[in-house]
Chains A and B, each alone.
Chain A
Amino acid sequence: MTKVFLQQTVMFILLVLLQVSLFNQINLFGIATPVVYIYFLIKLPVRLNRNVVLLLAALMGLAIDTFGYTLGLNMLIMVISGFMRYWLLYLFTPRDITDNVVPSFSTFGRNIFLRYAGTATLLHIILLNAIETGAFAVPHLLALRIAGSFALSYMIIYGFEILCSEK
């Protein structure tokens, strides 16, 4: 458990640094910006207390907001994503898993993990873009932004997972 705690702490710091210093600066074709800090939420142990999940999600969102100057926005989305995570896990966790494992290729199986991570990322990006653009939303541009950001984020998260599973 201590190992998982340490891993999550390192991941928290690394993801905040990467998101704020690198990924927030990317705006491919004017539409696609990777949102990878959701990977922290995806990788929390499956049986972790729901209140702890909410608190960690809020902290992650607040950290991104503080360094990215978007006060409240990412915190709001992360809390909603953290809340929805319970039902996503309910949908995707293989029935034979009873331990408090960390979702990964090896524990969930590659296909199930990718579906779980993909759904979580897509929901997060839809919420983020919808709330961020708000009154300025133009439907086809919003759809393009969501599709572009999702594709890019999903590829990066896939890469992260390959790196993590090779360790």
Chain B
Amino acid sequence: MKNLLHIIISNFHWIFFLVLICIAGWLLINNDELQRSRYLDISQDVAGKMHTVSGTIRSYLHLKRDNAALTERIAILEQELLQYKYQIRENNFTTIKYDSSSVLNTSHWRFFAARLVHNSISGTENYITLDKGIADGIREDMGVVSAEGAVVGLVMSVSSNFSRVIPLLNPNSRLSCKIKSSNFFGSLIWDGHDSRYSNLGELPSHTVYKMGDTIVTSGFSATFPEGVPVGIITNAVRQKAGNSNLLQIKLLTDFSTLHEVLIIENLQKKERNELEKGVDQ
């Protein structure tokens, strides 16, 4: 008995090692989205505050470039505004020609500006933290786009002052998209390799496309308006299993330099979800 006790004590580090491995393994494997969200709600506020400091410093360093991008965006918007003014004048101030592919019809979409306080692109499952939370009106499942207007991701969880976004650079993220020119739609899923590219799958074999075609949101989910740009087709692979096509998409959002974003709220989302839920039942 004494010997056994001695053996256990002298080899305690093995037991301790196995216990710690089990704890870490349990945390790693068992943290499904729900548990992850619960844990992160607590750690998010602390981590968010910490990241705010470094985020502020980084945003100062990028002010010049961000200003240039914003000025460019203003220029484009000004140009669009002029076009619409011109159209109104041409039509004797009565109607505006409505282009369904643009996001002109923004009556039930509300936008919130937010800044990134944490961003990861090097891992397989990447996440982004924004400096806006419940207190600013942010809720789960809101869409996020870059300052240039391209899709970034989806708000996954919210704490009082911060929100966590699951970006396109996460294999758990799925976005319903369509080819702008032909309206064929599929799902955009990241394969975990390159932060500049993603894949558009589940496209029928007779899909019509050409290299350089723009991919936009389909508008099938209540998260994004229809026609928000996502990326450009750069390559095509016909999948061996089944007859579906897989397209490689160059993402329009540069996640490595992302600092300012817009969070989109669909004011009609609740109504739409309730209706769809009622039909499903």
Contacts and interface: CB of A to CB of B under 8 A. Distances in A.
Contact of A21 (B50, B125, B192, B193): B50
A14 B65 CA distance: 30
A22 B24 contact: no
Contacts of B16: 51, 54-55
Contact of A71 (B17, B36, B50): B36
Contacts of A80: 21
B17 A69 contact: no
Interface stretch (B39-47, B67-75, B79-87, B214-222): B39-47
Contacts of B31: 71-72
A50 B121 CA distance: 35
Contacts of A66: 43, 46-47
A50 B13 contact: yes
B171 A54 contact: no
A124 to B, nearest CB: 14
Contacts of A72: 24-29, 31
A79 B24 contact: yes
Interface string A50-85: 110011001001000111111111011001100100
A76 B122 contact: no
Contact of A73 (B28, B39, B119, B195): B28
Contacts of A22: 54
A133 interface: yes
A122 B195 CA distance: 24
Interface string A20-31: 111011110010
A22 B122 CA distance: 13
Given A69-B40, A133-B192, A51 B13 contact: yes
A105 B12 CA distance: 32
A133 B192 CA distance: 8
Interface string A101-145: 000000000000000000000000000000011101010010000
Given A69-B164, A75-B27, A136-B124, 5 more contacts: A21-B54, A67-B46, A67-B50, A136-B193, A138-B193
B123 interface: yes
18 contacts: A17-B50, A24-B122, A33-B122, A55-B16, A58-B24, A67-B51, A69-B129, A71-B28, A71-B31, A71-B39, A72-B25, A72-B26, A75-B23, A79-B21, A79-B24, A83-B17, A133-B192, A134-B124
Interface in A1-58: 17, 20-22, 24-27, 30, 33, 50-51, 54-55, 58
Interface of B: 12-13, 16-17, 20-21, 23-29, 31, 36, 39-40, 43, 46-47, 50-51, 53-54, 58, 118-125, 127, 129, 164, 171, 191-196, 256
Given A66-B43, A136-B124, A76 B28 contact: yes
A69 B120 contact: yes
For the residues of A in contact with B, the DSSP-based class is helix
A15 B113 CA distance: 32
A20 B53 CA distance: 12
A84 B164 CA distance: 35
Nearest to A69: B127
Contacts of A83: 13, 17
Contacts of A133: 124, 192
Nearest to B191: A136
Contact of A30 (B46, B171, B194): B194
A24 B118 CA distance: 10
